[in-house]
Amino acid sequence: MTINNDAKTKIKVLVTGTAGFIGFHFTRKLLSLDYHVIGIDNLNSYYDVNLKLSRLKELGFSHAQLEQAPCTRKKPISLEKPAAGQLTFFPWDLTDREALEKIVAAEQPDYVVHLAAQTGVRY
């Protein structure tokens, strides 16, 4: 992705699996380059959810914000990082197609980077 420096802040990148290992590091890098990131992760409990919450805290979310953001397919919640306003996180499940379509329609990302996966192949 090559973008001139003046346009970087206008570029929106939707990243699935934001709280996962690769998604977290990729999101952190994009934020350091001043991109607007729209993150999606269902925060499932296959691995310790506290690890995922810890990663989201490192990205700038407060403990209070994360407490109100359990994953729910019926009523998703959007959180905005208050300091920069460059990270919007949706604790949504990607298998909810209608919710995903709403995110894309509302946020209108310039790029989509799909890093979400079902962990544990046998599961």
Query: With contact defined as beta carbons under 8 Å apart, do 54 and 48 qualify?
Result: no
Provide Rg for the chain, Cα atoms: 14
Identity of residue 110: D
Query: With contact defined as beta carbons under 8 Å apart, do 8 and 103 qualify?
Result: no
SS3 42: coil
Q: What is the pLDDT along the chain (123 residues), one digit of tens a residue?
A: 545 455 544 799 999 999 999 999 999 999 888 898 999 998 888 878 889 889 998 888 877 777 766 655 444 556 665 555 588 888 888 888 998 999 999 999 999 999 998 877 665
Token match 């973008």: residue? Answer: 3
Which domains, ranges and CATH numbers included, belong to the chain? 12-114 (3.40.50.720)
**Stated pTM of the model:** 0.81
Q: How far apart are the first and last CA of the chain?
A: 35
